[in-house]
């Protein structure tokens, strides 16, 4: 029996997350994703994924301090960053610099301290590279800012608005974890050989780099840029659908109803109504597009996916397209490291079989 790409095959048991595509549910450690984005910060949800419970005030304070202490690039990391070719893509840069973290204290078994270090330092790698390529001096981390706010601060060197921080933090919580996807599976396979945490995460980054997994939502960005203003929305959407064009940002391979991440992100953006024109435009485009899709394609159940609102957020933050997958990586590192830690709890090396379909020659 063939299962191309291992589709439908259960490869592990997990307590980290659950996806119900038919009902449109995403659960982290027993909590519906919408409840988490409503009430908790990036740090609190990261704690939940790593430790299996939400933190007390004291434990949250400790985690925030640990993340802040681990933001700084080592001398070796800076040296590697300065030596890498200017035309090297950002995901390859992150993968290479994370490899430079693989010192002797990263041996099996993996630890939460290692997960915290890697999570804390990835935004610093991204922003150091982005600013130096642009001819600007890197911005050092600011201990007054929490994780997401500090990321935006290091990117631009200015204090981001509350609306920007809220929107990006919600997005990053929603993309911390998403079951046994390709990059998470890569991390668990590498960890199952009792390799180190750094090796497992570089495997995941290499997988995320592929356009079939972590590709930027450039099509959604192009759609929103083309529409530009609320007044243009209906005419452009109708023209595209009448011409048989695909409406980017609608529909999902797993979710057969509303993408719960898109729902949670939309709810947060509605709370920010009027604070950012591009986020307001995205909400309007969604409403118009859903109505037209229901009119022209009845019964298709096409809803916005998380990439639709991710594109709107990236556009509102003026983030270039090459930062999308890198920012996705800066959030998904929490899920990857959680899975590596879980793999180590009851480890068995992955050793699937292959079916030989070649010739048999000779006697």
Cβ pair 33, 268 in contact under 8 A: no
Cα distances from 236 to residues 76, 253, 302, in angstroms, run: 51, 25, 18
d(CA 338, CA 85): 32
Catalytic residue positions? 252, 307
N-terminal to C-terminal alpha carbon distance within the chain: 28
Cα distances from 191 to residues 6, 55, 101, 175, 282, in angstroms, run: 19, 27, 16, 22, 40
Q: 27 pairs with which residues across the strands?
A: 18, 32
Pick from 183, 173, 161: nearest CA to 43: 173
Which two structure tokens, joined as six digits, stand for 68?
């802040």
**Among positive and negative, which fits the CA dihedral 116, 332, 278, 125?**
positive
**Among positive and negative, which fits the CA dihedral 149, 37, 119, 63?**
positive
**Among positive and negative, which fits the CA dihedral 283, 275, 332, 207?**
positive
d(CA 106, CA 87): 30
Secondary structure class of 171 (helix, strand, coil): helix
């Amino acid at each position: 029996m063939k299962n191309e790409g291992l589709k439908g095959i259960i490869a592990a048991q997990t307590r980290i997350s659950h996806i119900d595509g038919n009902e449109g549910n995403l659960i982290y450690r027993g909590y519906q994703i919408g409840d988490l984005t409503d009430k908790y910060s990036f740090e609190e949800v990261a704690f939940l994924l790593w430790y299996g419970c939400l933190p007390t005030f004291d434990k949250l304070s400790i985690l925030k301090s640990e993340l802040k202490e681990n933001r700084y690039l080592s001398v070796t990391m800076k040296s590697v960053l300065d030596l890498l070719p200017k035309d090297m893509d950002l995901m390859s840069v992150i993968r290479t610099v994370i490899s430079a973290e693989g010192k002797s204290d990263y041996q099996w078994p993996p630890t939460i301290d290692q997960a915290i270090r890697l999570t804390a330092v990835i935004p610093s790698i991204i922003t150091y590279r982005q600013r130096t390529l642009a001819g600007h001096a890197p911005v050092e981390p600011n201990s007054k800012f929490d994780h997401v706010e500090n990321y935006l601060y290091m990117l631009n060197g200015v204090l981001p608005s509350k609306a920007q921080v809220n929107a990006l933090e919600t997005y990053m919580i929603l993309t911390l974890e998403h079951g046994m996807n390709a990059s998470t599976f890569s991390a668990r396979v590498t960890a199952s050989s009792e390799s180190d945490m750094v090796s497992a995460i570089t495997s995941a980054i290499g997988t995320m780099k592929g356009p079939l997994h972590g590709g930027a939502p450039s099509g959604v960005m192009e759609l929103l840029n083309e529409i530009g203003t609320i007044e243009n929305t209906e005419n452009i959407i109708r023209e595209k659908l009448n011409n048989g064009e695909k409406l980017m940002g609608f529909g999902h391979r797993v979710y057969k109803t509303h993408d719960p991440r898109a729902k949670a992100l939309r709810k947060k953006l509605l709370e920010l109504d009027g604070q950012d024109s591009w986020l307001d435009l995205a909400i309007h485009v969604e409403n118009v597009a859903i109505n037209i899709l229901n009119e022209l394609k009845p019964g298709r159940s096409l809803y916005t996916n998380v990439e639709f609102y991710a594109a709107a957020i990236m556009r509102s933050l003026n983030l270039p397209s090459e930062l999308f997958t890198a920012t996705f990586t800066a959030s998904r590192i929490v899920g990857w490291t959680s899975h590596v830690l879980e793999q180590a709890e009851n480890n068995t090396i992955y050793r699937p079989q292959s079916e030989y379909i070649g010739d048999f020659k000779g006697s």
